[in-house]
Amino acid sequence: MGGTTTISVGSDGVAIITILNPPVNSLSLDVLNSLKESFDQALQRDDVKAIVVTGAKGKFSGGFDINAFGGVHDGKAMSTGPASKPGYVSIDILSDTVEAARKPSVAAIDGLALGGGLEVAMGCHARIATSTAQLGLPELQLGIIPGFGGTQRLPRLVGLPKALEMMLVSCYLFNPPGDELLDTARRWALDILERRRPWVASLYRTDKLEPLGEAREILNFARAQARRQAPNMQHPQVCIDVIEEGIEYNEFQVLLKSDTCKSLVHIFFAQRGTTKVPGVTDRGLKPRRISKVAILGGGLMGSGIATALLLSGYQVVLKEVNEKFLEGGLGRIKANLTSSVKKGKLSQEKFEKTLSRLKGVLDYESFKDVDMVIEAVIENVSLKQQIFSDLEKYCSPHCILASNTSTIDLNLIGEKTKSHDRIIGAHFFSPAHIMPLLEIVRTEKTSPQVIVDLLDVGKKIRKTPVVVGNCTGFAVNRMFFPYTQSALLLVERGADIYKIDRAITKFGMPMGPFRLCDLVGFGVAIATGSQFVENFPERTYRSMLIPLMQEDKRAGETTRKGFYVYNDKRKASPDPELKKYIEKAREMAGVSVDPKVGGALIQLAKLSDKEIIEMVLFPVVNEACRVYAEGIAVKAADLDIAGVMGMGFPPYRGGIMFWGDSIGSKYICGKLEEWSKMYGDFFKPCGYLAERAALGAPLSTGGADEAKAKSRL
């Protein structure tokens, strides 16, 4: 597992123990064993009076080594050595060696002290941190609870409310400024030794703890809140119980083996893996400097993208077709920035500075020195084609030409240009300054340099980029187009709209397919839908329900009427009037409720929640398999991230492919086959899924990347 600690003793008698395990000084079992050895050495040596613990290269520690979890999930023992024994780190190292030591210790924290890292620091007798240090117990984001005494020491150091916030919301505590970290820590340790400062064992502190009755109330409130916010997850409740009862280790071990932990650890590594693109990021290319970006179109998307760029220090030129639209776009950007000020994320002074980097224009005059253009106009092929040939004329030959299209094939968009190597998709998700995903779409001709440049921009604007291949709908929209389609098919055959939405939100999606349609708006839903009808006619379910409703001026949330009706506060309520549209659509589709076909007829009006989830989401798994098999995504894990970050698929289920594998290819394929016999080709399993099912193999391995790797051998 690697990593170690070093020890050096100064002439002042202070031993500096440094954690050394790049890149984040994570606590592997080797590091923990070495930490114990260094401590024992410092305690035994006569020339050591006091101890300072720190991390190498400006990072205290990013916590327990998450790679070790993988071993546990695969059923292997973590490692050998004393630190692998149950409770050894928590009791033998942190309580009995560090905290109970006869020599005082101080944690000198620069950079990160997260999870186990902060727990080591809390075992020391005092903590000194720089102004930029990040302290936190983010274990819950991985489906576990702190396991090295954090649930007990943190409440004693900062009080229950702050400790609960740091664990359940996983936010970080920023400490007041400190300077000359190591010197201050050294002096502090000696001050403790000479009783000029208190010698405090965190575990025995009680001054910050609330009286019992009050503490119980705080914990019960936290329980209720966690139940509301994370109804499908057990570990936040377990964490609160453990804070109250103090028995940490056993629960930690149980959670470590849970499906939630497996899924969240998968998501952790998958997210970090998206920036590693074979054939692109392994060529040693350095991102070029991009400082000025032009955006075409100041609508919801364009203004959101502009906001994200401005907030990260880019200069932005916003182009619109007339004064009125330009004013609207600039106004939206200003409103976004104002909202950041209100939320305390941007100071008033920075607001002015940020806004001063924005320029609104009506022509291409200022495009000659921009480094990148992002086109964000309506989804109209000929308009986009015209724009791209204009861009070729007005921009420098090095300028990156990106499109924010969500569905249209990029080759079509660039058809009238000779700039195919610098055309790329930069597909943001609405609201673009908030949603974390950036789908980067490359064609066969996009140069690796341009991809590396956009990956860098993505990182700077704090998005998780996923690089995908070019096709209609790319990865996210293509995977999720069956989401609404299957829901429409079910409704036309008797299932209830609101029951479907309820079952799907209970599963963990932020909203069901119908509520989502209302949010996106029927105009966009129809435009996108028609792209799919055109490109994948054999598997597109054609329902007239949405067009029928739109004819009646019900177009979703913006018109206050869609599948739901909306009040002034945008609260959605079911609408009994929908019945008439459903009946008409059913008639036009020529289908009946509960068609009498096949022996294993499922009465769709009486579907259970489980059946709804399967019938809505297995077609999504099926399409994800196609996307993977075609090589649109190079890694199945990229699709997991795309679904989690772009569609809100619950991360604690690990993403769409990971979830599919947790159910099994055989079962999914069997169900899809059964439904395709009853309801048509919409459900037909794709070749890849059928093949994996026949082999009894997982879906997440064996896609185009594996096929390519094999063909290279």
Active site residues: 119, 139
CA–CA distance, 154 with 113 (Å, rounded to integer): 13
Q: With contacts defined by CB under 6 A, name the span among 18-26, 77-85, 353-361, 465-473 that binds ligand 3HC.
A: 18-26
To the nearest 10°, the Cα dihedral for 469, 471, 474, 475?
Answer: -70
The residue from 31, 32, 38, 62 that contacts ligand 3HC (CB under 6 A) is 62
Total Cβ atoms within 10 A of residue 324:
9
Q: Closer CB to ligand 3HC, residue 2 or residue 595?
A: 2
Q: Should residue 20 be labelled a site residue for ligand 3HC when binding is judged by CB under 6 A?
A: no
Whether the bond into 431 is cis, omega within 30 of 0: yes
> Rounded to the nearest whole angstrom, what is the least distance from the CB of residue 470 to ligand 3HC in the complex?
26
Q: Closer CB to ligand 3HC, residue 113 or residue 330?
A: 113
Task: Produce one character per residue of 494-526: b if its CB has 16 or more CB atoms within 10 Å, e if not.
Answer: bbbbbbbbebbeebbbebbbbbbbbbbbbbbbe
The residue from 138, 298, 329, 651 that contacts ligand 3HC (CB under 6 A) is 138
Q: With contacts defined by CB under 6 A, name the span among 60-68, 286-294, 305-313, 420-428 that binds ligand 3HC.
A: 60-68
| 107: β partners | 53, 127
The residue from 142, 519, 621, 636 that contacts ligand 3HC (CB under 6 A) is 142
- Token duo for residue 69: 């979890």
CA–CA distance, 656 with 269 (Å, rounded to integer): 15
Burial class (CB in 10 A: 0-12, 13-18, 19+), 275: middle
Q: With contacts defined by CB under 6 A, name the span among 142-150, 322-330, 432-440, 497-505 that binds ligand 3HC.
A: 142-150
The residue from 55, 63, 513, 562 that contacts ligand 3HC (CB under 6 A) is 63
Q: Should residue 482 be labelled a site residue for ligand 3HC when binding is judged by CB under 6 A?
A: no
Q: With contacts defined by CB under 6 A, name the span among 111-119, 441-449, 577-585, 614-622 that binds ligand 3HC.
A: 111-119
The answer to whether 124 and 100 have CB atoms below 8 angstroms apart is no
> Rounded to the nearest whole angstrom, what is the least distance from the CB of residue 153 to ligand 3HC in the complex?
11
Q: Should residue 688 be labelled a site residue for ligand 3HC when binding is judged by CB under 6 A?
A: no
Q: With contacts defined by CB under 6 A, name the span among 35-43, 109-117, 238-246, 594-602 that binds ligand 3HC.
A: 109-117
The answer to whether 233 and 208 have CB atoms below 8 angstroms apart is no
Residues 6+ apart with CB under 8 A from 349: none
> Rounded to the nearest whole angstrom, what is the least distance from the CB of residue 39 to ligand 3HC in the complex?
18
Q: With contacts defined by CB under 6 A, name the span among 38-46, 107-115, 120-128, 581-589 that binds ligand 3HC.
A: 107-115
Q: Should residue 124 be labelled a site residue for ligand 3HC when binding is judged by CB under 6 A?
A: no
Q: Should residue 24 be labelled a site residue for ligand 3HC when binding is judged by CB under 6 A?
A: yes
The answer to whether 650 and 509 have CB atoms below 8 angstroms apart is yes
CA–CA distance, 464 with 424 (Å, rounded to integer): 17
What does the H/E/C string look like for 279-319? Answer: CCCCCCCCCCCCCEEEEECCCHHHHHHHHHHHHCCCEEEEE
Residues 6+ apart with CB under 8 A from 213: none
> Rounded to the nearest whole angstrom, what is the least distance from the CB of residue 638 to ligand 3HC in the complex?
14
SS3 category, 259: helix
Q: Closer CB to ligand 3HC, residue 285 or residue 588?
A: 285
Q: Should residue 439 be labelled a site residue for ligand 3HC when binding is judged by CB under 6 A?
A: no
> Rounded to the nearest whole angstrom, what is the least distance from the CB of residue 271 to ligand 3HC in the complex?
8
Whether the bond into 146 is cis, omega within 30 of 0: no
CA–CA distance, 42 with 9 (Å, rounded to integer): 9
Kindly determine how many residues on this chain lie close enough to bind ligand 3HC according to the rule CB under 6 A: 22
Specify the residue for token string 């106009």.
Answer: 377
The residue from 30, 99, 110, 139 that contacts ligand 3HC (CB under 6 A) is 139
Question: Which residues within the stretch 260-319 sit at the binding site for ligand 3HC (CB under 6 A)?
Answer: 272
The residue from 26, 130, 303, 622 that contacts ligand 3HC (CB under 6 A) is 26
> Rounded to the nearest whole angstrom, what is the least distance from the CB of residue 270 to ligand 3HC in the complex?
10
The residue from 14, 113, 114, 476 that contacts ligand 3HC (CB under 6 A) is 114
> Rounded to the nearest whole angstrom, what is the least distance from the CB of residue 64 to ligand 3HC in the complex?
3
> Rounded to the nearest whole angstrom, what is the least distance from the CB of residue 79 to ligand 3HC in the complex?
14
Q: What is the DSSP letter of 61?
A: B
Residues 6+ apart with CB under 8 A from 69: 142, 256, 261, 265
Q: Should residue 146 be labelled a site residue for ligand 3HC when binding is judged by CB under 6 A?
A: yes
> Rounded to the nearest whole angstrom, what is the least distance from the CB of residue 391 to ligand 3HC in the complex?
33
Of all helices (H) and strands (E), which one includes residue 431? Answer: none
Q: Should residue 651 be labelled a site residue for ligand 3HC when binding is judged by CB under 6 A?
A: no
CA–CA distance, 384 with 378 (Å, rounded to integer): 8
Q: What is the DSSP string of 205-252?
A: --TTSPPHHHHHHHHHHHHHHHHHH-TT-SHHHHHHHHHHH---HHHH
Q: With contacts defined by CB under 6 A, name the span among 137-145, 441-449, 591-599, 659-667 that binds ligand 3HC.
A: 137-145
Q: Should residue 119 be labelled a site residue for ligand 3HC when binding is judged by CB under 6 A?
A: yes
The residue from 11, 23, 176, 568 that contacts ligand 3HC (CB under 6 A) is 23
CA–CA distance, 672 with 625 (Å, rounded to integer): 13
Q: Should residue 112 be labelled a site residue for ligand 3HC when binding is judged by CB under 6 A?
A: yes
Q: Should residue 236 be labelled a site residue for ligand 3HC when binding is judged by CB under 6 A?
A: no
Q: Should residue 589 be labelled a site residue for ligand 3HC when binding is judged by CB under 6 A?
A: no
The answer to whether 174 and 133 have CB atoms below 8 angstroms apart is yes
What is the pairing mode between strands 358-361 and 372-375? unpaired
Q: What is the DSSP letter of 357?
A: T
Q: Should residue 257 be labelled a site residue for ligand 3HC when binding is judged by CB under 6 A?
A: no
Point out the residue whose Cβ comes nearest to ligand 3HC.
Answer: 115
Q: With contacts defined by CB under 6 A, name the span among 22-30, 474-482, 666-674, 688-696 that binds ligand 3HC.
A: 22-30
The answer to whether 525 and 619 have CB atoms below 8 angstroms apart is no
The residue from 3, 55, 123, 147 that contacts ligand 3HC (CB under 6 A) is 147
Binding mask 149-188 for ligand 3HC (x = CB under 6 A): -x--------------------------------------
Q: Closer CB to ligand 3HC, residue 139 or residue 371?
A: 139
The residue from 65, 251, 453, 501 that contacts ligand 3HC (CB under 6 A) is 65
Q: Should residue 66 be labelled a site residue for ligand 3HC when binding is judged by CB under 6 A?
A: yes
Measured at the alpha carbon of residue 172, what is the angle toward residues 171 and 174, in degrees to the nearest 5? 145
What values do phi and psi take at 132, rounded to 5? -100, 5
Specify the residue for token string 């589709």.
Answer: 589
> Rounded to the nearest whole angstrom, what is the least distance from the CB of residue 112 to ligand 3HC in the complex?
5
Q: Report the interface residues with ligand 3HC, using CB under 6 A.
A: 23-24, 26, 62-67, 112, 114-116, 119, 138-139, 142, 146-148, 150, 272
